């Protein structure tokens, strides 16, 4: 009798022990399964589909690296990649410069600092579809800001910025940046507030002017944040989609076509899913180059 009870007890205890050991993994299992199904599995099969002539439906025929050879010949791909590279130049200069300057203007403020931070952050929380529509109206050549300026005697700015292949990409970037720089500024400001005020005090005693303070204290002080954001925006500049698709769908005449919109058209309009998967791989690859440079730079001891 007692031995049976003991045996039962022991079994229960060992079951509990197993459960306790399994518990940590049981708790991460749901999110692991979901992310493998949604992201890892399809990401891996992208490598296979990129080497097929798959339409998106039914069977896929293996064609090796043919899609990548076609990419090299595809003039619309080259043009889109060029636009992504332009976008890379825009996002790693203009918003970074604005955010740096504004953050250093805002950092020494004692009053209304919170008000300005809120005001500059608000555009970041708004939806891309709404921002796009607001600015499409404001940039209208007949009813927008340019038209108003022409009416009061400042001619020449009432252009169809979004409707001109030469200006559409930059116009889209301008609108995207309107919602982006404030966010970047808050990041830089938070990093600046971690810089010891003693450094500025010492610099002032040494007779440093504002530029010296900015160049030799502020910039080195926020370097980790600065480089991280340069890395992230570089990666993202190959993935842009929302604002381009909403505002112009890549037009007019391919003037703002980027890899993201090209992939979208190939996958869902032209039914060239294999080709689209190949485009997606190259987009990820370009971003990967920047991650690699970042890691290599760190290994070589660069302070980034």
Partner 1 sequence: MSILFKKRRNVTLVPNYVVLILLTIFALGPLVVLGFNSLKDSAELGSNPLGPPKQMILENYPQAWEQGNFSTTIRNSAILVVGTVAGVLVFGGMAAYSLSRLKMRGSDALIIYLLVISTLPIQLFLVPLYSLWRNLGLLNNLFGLILIYIAVMSPFPIFLLRSYMLQLSPDFEDAARVDGANEWQILWKIVIPLSWPGFLTTGLVVALGVWNEFLLATVFLTNENLFTIATSYFQFTRRFGVDWSLTSAAAMFMIIPVLVLFLIFQKPFIEGLTQGGLKQ
- Rounded least distance, CB 150 to partner 1, Å: 13
- Rounded least distance, CB 1 to partner 1, Å: 27
Cα distances (Å, whole numbers) of residue 290 to 36, 161, 230, 259: 25, 31, 10, 17
User: Which one, 255 or 272, has the nearer CB to partner 1?
Assistant: 272
Residue bearing tokens 């299992």? 29
* Distance from chain centroid for Cα 229: 9
- Rounded least distance, CB 249 to partner 1, Å: 10
- Rounded least distance, CB 219 to partner 1, Å: 18
- Rounded least distance, CB 4 to partner 1, Å: 26
Q: How many other CB atoms sit within 10 Å of the CB of residue 19?
A: 10
User: Which one, 90 or 135, has the nearer CB to partner 1?
Assistant: 135
User: Roughly how many angstroms between the first and final C-alpha of the chain, as a whole number?
Assistant: 70
Long-range contacts at 57-65 (CB < 8 A, ≥ 24 apart): 57/271, 60/274, 63/274
- Map 149-164 to HEC letters: HHHCCCCCCCCCCCCC
User: Which one, 89 or 109, has the nearer CB to partner 1?
Assistant: 109
Token digits for 75?
């003039």
Token digits for 74?
């595809």
User: Which one, 136 or 164, has the nearer CB to partner 1?
Assistant: 136
- Rounded least distance, CB 74 to partner 1, Å: 17
Integer Cα distance of 54 and 266 in angstroms: 11
User: Which one, 161 or 180, has the nearer CB to partner 1?
Assistant: 180
User: Which one, 255 or 280, has the nearer CB to partner 1?
Assistant: 280
Integer Cα distance of 94 and 100 in angstroms: 10
User: Which one, 4 or 111, has the nearer CB to partner 1?
Assistant: 111
- Rounded least distance, CB 291 to partner 1, Å: 7
- Rounded least distance, CB 133 to partner 1, Å: 5
Q: What are the start-end ranges of the H helices in the chain?
A: 2-35, 41-49, 66-73, 75-106, 113-121, 128-138, 145-151, 168-192, 197-205, 210-213, 219-221, 223-236, 242-247, 259-268, 273-299
């Amino acid at each position: 009798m007692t031995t049976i009870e003991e045996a039962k007890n022991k079994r229960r205890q060992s079951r509990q022990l197993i459960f306790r050991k399994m518990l940590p993994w049981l708790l991460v299992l749901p999110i692991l399964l979901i992310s493998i199904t949604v992201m890892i599995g399809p990401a891996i099969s992208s490598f296979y589909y990129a080497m097929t002539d798959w339409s998106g439906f039914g069977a896929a025929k293996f064609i090796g690296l043919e899609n990548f050879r076609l990419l090299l010949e595809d003039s619309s791909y080259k043009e889109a990649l060029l636009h992504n590279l332009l976008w890379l130049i825009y996002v790693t200069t203009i918003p970074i410069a604005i955010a740096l300057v504004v953050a250093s203007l805002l950092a020494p403020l004692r009053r209304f600092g919170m008000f300005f931070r809120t005001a500059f952050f608000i555009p970041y929380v708004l939806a891309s579809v709404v921002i796009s529509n607001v600015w499409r109206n404001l940039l209208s050549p007949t009813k927008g800001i340019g038209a108003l300026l022409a009416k009061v005697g400042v001619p020449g700015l009432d252009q169809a910025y979004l409707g001109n292949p030469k200006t559409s990409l930059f116009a889209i970037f301008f609108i995207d940046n309107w919602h982006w720089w404030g966010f970047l500024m808050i990041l830089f400001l938070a990093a600046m507030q971690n810089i010891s005020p003693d450094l500025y005090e010492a610099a002032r005693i040494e007779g440093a002017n504002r530029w010296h303070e900015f160049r030799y204290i502020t910039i080195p002080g926020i370097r980790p944040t600065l480089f991280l954001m340069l890395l992230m925006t570089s990666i993202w500049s190959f993935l842009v989609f929302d604002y381009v698709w909403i505002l112009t769908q890549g037009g007019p005449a391919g003037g703002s076509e980027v890899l993201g919109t090209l992939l979208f058209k190939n996958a869902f309009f032209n039914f060239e899913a294999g080709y689209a998967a190949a485009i997606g791989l190259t987009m990820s690859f370009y971003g990967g180059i920047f991650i690699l440079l970042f890691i290599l730079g760190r290994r070589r001891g660069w302070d980034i």
